[in-house]
């Protein structure tokens, strides 16, 4: 499978890229920092000699970079079978309430810009005979309005809504859309935050995501316990949600 990964130089994206290269996929990396992309590509090629991992700059905060980056990936690989978007921004509720410019940036990058990138990627994927796969990291934070993640969670709620709609509309035409809903994962994005129960490791989550890709699933929670946790949270009455702190 010829896969483009946005955000493969850190955290979940890096764990996923290493597992995909190990199983024989050909990868093309997109990200903001050229030096980090070069190091990540070299790391992947060392893990599987002859892999010829390509890369190009793409900043999720700058929509003008999306088209050229995807075209570079298409030119470099000849076709695109799968696009994986792991990149995004995070901020605690208190920090975003205090800094509305940062809140605007988080909401714009996580929702509006990611949707635009998905729309551009969709055209490449659907140009293939048999279609392709679009894999996008959303979050359990988007499943229910909650005190600690009101602003960040709203950006992920919008993204999850869009991805579900995309799956309904285009699955029959060959576009398989997978919404990944991680709970707390121990990466650089969550550094400094107290891990809750069921916190996941990047490799563990990557394994679950790859299994979901291969099974053509529309949604996957990772680690798996978060599916059950969010089922409970989604069904709690509002008077309970107003009283609790999660």
CB 134 within 8 A of CB 178: yes
d(CA 112, CA 89): 12
Rounded distance between C-alpha atoms, residue 242 and residue 172, angstroms: 41
Annotated catalytic residue, options 55, 111, 152, 221 = 152
Annotated active-site residue 111? The verdict is no
Provide the annotated active-site residues.
152
């Amino acid at each position: 499978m010829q896969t483009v990964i946005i955000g493969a130089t850190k955290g979940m994206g890096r764990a996923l890229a290493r597992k995909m290269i190990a199983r024989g996929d050909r990868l093309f990396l997109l990200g903001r920092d050229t030096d980090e992309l070069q190091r990540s590509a070299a790391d992947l090629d060392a893990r599987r000699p002859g892999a010829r991992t390509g890369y190009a700059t793409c900043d999720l905060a700058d929509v003008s970079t999306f088209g050229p980056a995807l075209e570079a990936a298409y030119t470099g690989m000849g076709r695109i079978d799968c696009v994986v978007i792991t990149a995004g921004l995070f901020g605690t509720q208190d920090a975003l309430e205090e800094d509305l410019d940062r809140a605007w940036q988080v909401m714009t990058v996580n929702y509006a810009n990611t949707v635009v990138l998905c729309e551009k990627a969709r055209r490449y994927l659907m140009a293939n005979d048999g279609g392709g796969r679009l894999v996008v990291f959303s979050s359990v934070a988007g499943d229910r309005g909650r005190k600690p993640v009101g602003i960040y969670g709203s950006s992920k709620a919008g993204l999850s809504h869009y991805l579900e709609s995309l799956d309904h509309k285009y699955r029959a035409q060959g576009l398989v859309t997978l919404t990944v809903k991680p709970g707390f994962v121990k990466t650089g994005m969550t550094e400094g935050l107290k891990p809750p129960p069921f916190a996941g490791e990047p490799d563990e989550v990557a394994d679950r995501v790859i299994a979901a890709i291969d099974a053509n699933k529309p949604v996957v929670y990772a680690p798996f316990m978060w599916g059950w946790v969010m089922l409970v949270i989604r069904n709690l009455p509002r008077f309970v949600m107003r009283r609790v702190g999660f």
